[in-house]
Structure 1
Amino acid sequence: MRPADLAHEHGLSTQAVRNYEDEGILPPAERSDTGYRRYTEAHAQALRAFLALRHGYGHQTSAAILRAAHRPDQATMFRLIDQAHADLLHERRTLDEVAAALDALSADPAPTENSTAAMTIGALAHRVGIHPASLRKWEAAGILRPHRDRATGYRVYPPDVVRDAHVTNQLRRGGYPLPRIKLFIDHLRAAGDSPDLADVLDEWQARLTHRGHAMLTGGAHLATYLALLTERDTAAAKRE
């Protein structure tokens, strides 16, 4: 096969195929007497596997998986796969925790009888179970937007910021870095009230489901490719 044959199947450029070989995503191709690359069905399946894996694992991890397969280094290859699945499960659990936190806040949005009352930094820190310094750190990161009391200049936290603090705490417990939490809180803030928040969580769940399905599909293509490598190595051993 020529580079163009592999490229045509996926709508790629021939240069992209060459680049994938140079990156180790495809195994080295044999060369003709005139120096042209000659690909086989194994190369075609390696490309199918990489492009399918990329939807679920991302470009960098998928490339690392294929390079490990070519060394061959199955321990590293399966460690990369296992870690990606563990990360997906971790995110699913975080989503569950965030949904539970939002449900709890909907049932009991504030610690006082007045559900519209703002909270002081000390009261909010006590309610969330963190140190006030954490609230100030989240504010500095752009996650929380407390108001200032006009008379005293002290921070006050209205109910929507209380919600953001609860969700931020759940995400921090789940291991999320502050920049990613800011993106999610910005999304929640733009969504508005509970019906829209439910849509945000549904979209998050849909993304996780899509990624999980993509991992399954990519895994099937990878298994086919590994079988081709085994057949190739077995045939080479017999020739020796």
Structure 2
Amino acid sequence: MGRNLQSGDRLRPVDLARRHGLSTQAIRNYEEAGILPAAARTPHGYRTYTALHAGALRAFLALAPAHGHRTATSIMRAVNEGASEEAFRLIDESHAQLLDDRRTLHAVENALRDLEGGVAAPVGSGADELFIGALARELGIRPATLRAWEHAGLVRPRRDPRTGYRVYDEAAVRDARLAHQLRRGGHLLEQIAPLIAQVRAAGGLEPLEAALHDWHGRLSARGRAMLTGAAELDTYLRERG
């Protein structure tokens, strides 16, 4: 859309906005955020844009679904400031996060297969039970997070009768692992709770399987969006010269 513009063509904010279903205020906000290069001004102070600005807008709108609004903004700001290496670093980090999310998804699927087979996930430390601090360290989270998950019904530690400390047995560790993996996959606590409740129930794994299918779809969509975003950004970098 708009690729037949000549480099010298002048565009008003409304022209850019209409091409992409945006408001003129959004165009001004994008310029102020550094997503678009600074616009020229008419003698009366009105902004005027060119094909270069249209290319920047296309690049940003393609990058946002792939990397998120904040990262896409940082990428475009870096490019417009002449810091292409910083932009490439941000893109690399986003790709690394996608790969990590894929590995997390595979870990959840492995956990699901273990659950279907009636095999509990290994604790890792070799201990049959863990206290809250040890489990938090193993998962790389804070003890307060485990307490919040307990409050939300995601994990059910028992209490040591002598000390009152929380003790996580094999089943509680399994639930904590699943909660951790699903949180990293973007699920909210209120979405995870019924999944884990189903996991606890005999033969209740279908909701988790549906969530994993949806997760696969979202990761694939992000990967495809990264390809589209990369193509638009490459075009914009060529237009900048």
Give the aligned partner of residue 8 of structure 2.
Answer: none
Counterparts of residues 191-230 of structure 1 (less than 5 Å)? 193-230=204-241
RMSD: 3.5
Unaligned runs of 5+ in 1: 112-121, 231-240
Q: Does 1:39 align with 2:46?
A: no
1:164 and 1:185 in contact (8 A); partners too: no
Give the aligned partner of residue 103 of structure 2.
Answer: 93
Give the aligned partner of residue 148 of structure 2.
Answer: 141
Amino acid across the alignment from 2:87: M
Unaligned runs of 5+ in 2: 1-10, 137-142
Identity of aligned residues (%): 44
Counterparts of residues 20-169 of structure 1 (less than 5 Å)? 20-109=30-119, 126-127=127-128, 131=131, 133-134=133-134, 137=143, 139-143=146-150, 144-146=154-156, 161=172, 163-168=174-179
C-alpha change, 1:204 and 1:190, in structure 2 (3 Å) is farther
Q: Mean Cα displacement is larger for which, 207-216 or 153-162? A: 153-162
C-alpha change, 1:148 and 1:91, in structure 2 (3 Å) is closer
2:36 and 2:53 in contact (8 A); partners too: yes
TM-score when scaled to structure 1?
0.75
C-alpha change, 1:141 and 1:125, in structure 2 (3 Å) is farther
Pairwise CA distance, 1:101: 1.3
Count, aligned residues: 213
Amino acid across the alignment from 1:106: E
**Which structure has more helix as a fraction of its residues?**
1
Secondary structure at the residue paired with 1:141? Answer: helix
2:155 and 2:176 in contact (8 A); partners too: no
C-alpha change, 1:68 and 1:157, in structure 2 (3 Å) is closer
C-alpha change, 1:200 and 1:180, in structure 2 (3 Å) is closer
TM-score when scaled to structure 2?
0.74
1:42 and 1:228 in contact (8 A); partners too: yes
Q: Which has the larger radius of gyration?
A: 1
